[in-house]
Amino acid sequence: MTNFGAVVRSSLFALVQALVTPPYALVALLTFPLPALARYHIIAGWARFFVWLAAVLCGVRYRVEGRRHLPQAPCVFLSKHQSAWETLAFQAILPPHVMVIKRELLWIPFFGWGLARMSPIAIDRSAGMRALKQVQEQGKARLARGFGVVIYPEGTRTAPGKHVKYQTGGAWLAVRAGVPVVPIAHNAGYLWPRNSFIKRPGLVTVSIGPAIPTQGRRPDAVIADVSAWIEQEVARLGDGSAR
């Protein structure tokens, strides 16, 4: 049964989000003349604010394990995808990066405007090999500019306890670009479930794994290592309710 307090807190969160996002989108548009890194930090402030607000209003706190594994040079981050929470929180946790997203997100008024200014790799998920080629070409360009690339190899948000085959696109990019992949596990889906308005209080644990080398390896072997590490970590983390 949903707690009434959680409904109230989640409603307040949604109200603040609706009030803040349109003016912040205009700020994002005004960053156009700035260098890419300066533009990134300004626009990412929107996501960092709402991660903070989720903790203050809804009790969705977080901690990070394995920060020491974050590399100094750009890499490909391959992450578990359970929630909208991680797409926001990674702006506060990870070095400057771009995300591979479905292109439809850019069509959302206000939110999509700001997202577009962060140079994501926006793909048509039905395009098959053409989308994979786009990820490789644009991903290599973003890496060359000093940005990491975040990819969710499950392809879509997957509820806790559900398992889907990991796609190899992120591993292909890393192999072609000659950079390592860094796996990321978390349990945000228990507290901020997929497609759920209600956010439950608790502690999200984000676990960053050791970099996995890709040079001289096949993408399917790389993604097998990523999948094994992430799924084992997710099982270890639990649901965050007792932290």
What digits encode the pLDDT tens for the residues 190-236? 999 988 899 999 999 999 999 999 999 999 999 999 999 999 999 99
Angle 74-186-227 from CA coordinates, rounded to 5°:
70
Angle 67-68-73 from CA coordinates, rounded to 5°:
95
Task: Say yes or no to pLDDT of 1 above 50.
Answer: no
- At the top level of CATH, the class of 4-237 is alpha beta
pLDDT in tens, 35-89: 999 999 999 999 999 999 999 999 999 999 999 999 999 999 999 999 999 999 9
3-state secondary structure the chain: CCCHHHHHHHHHHHHHHHHHHHHHHHHHHHCCCCCHHHHHHHHHHHHHHHHHHHHHHHCEEEEEECHHHCCCCCCEEEECCCCCHHHHHHHHHCCCEEEEEEHHHHHCCCHHHHHHCCCCEEECCCCCHHHHHHHHHHHHHHHHCCCEEEECCCCCCCCCCCCCCCCCHHHHHHHHHCCCEEEEEECHHHCCCCCCCCCCCEEEEEEECCCECCCCCCHHHHHHHHHHHHHHHHHHHCCCCCC
Q: pTM for this one?
A: 0.93
| Residues contacting residue 32 through CB under 8 Å, at least 6 positions apart | 39, 117
pLDDT in tens, 121-163: 998 877 778 888 999 999 999 999 999 999 999 988 999 988 8
The Cβ-side half-sphere exposure at 12, using a 13 Å CA radius, reads: 12
- By the 10 Å C-beta count (0-12 exposed, 13-18 middle, 19+ buried), 234 is classed as buried
The ranges assigned to domains in the chain are 4-237
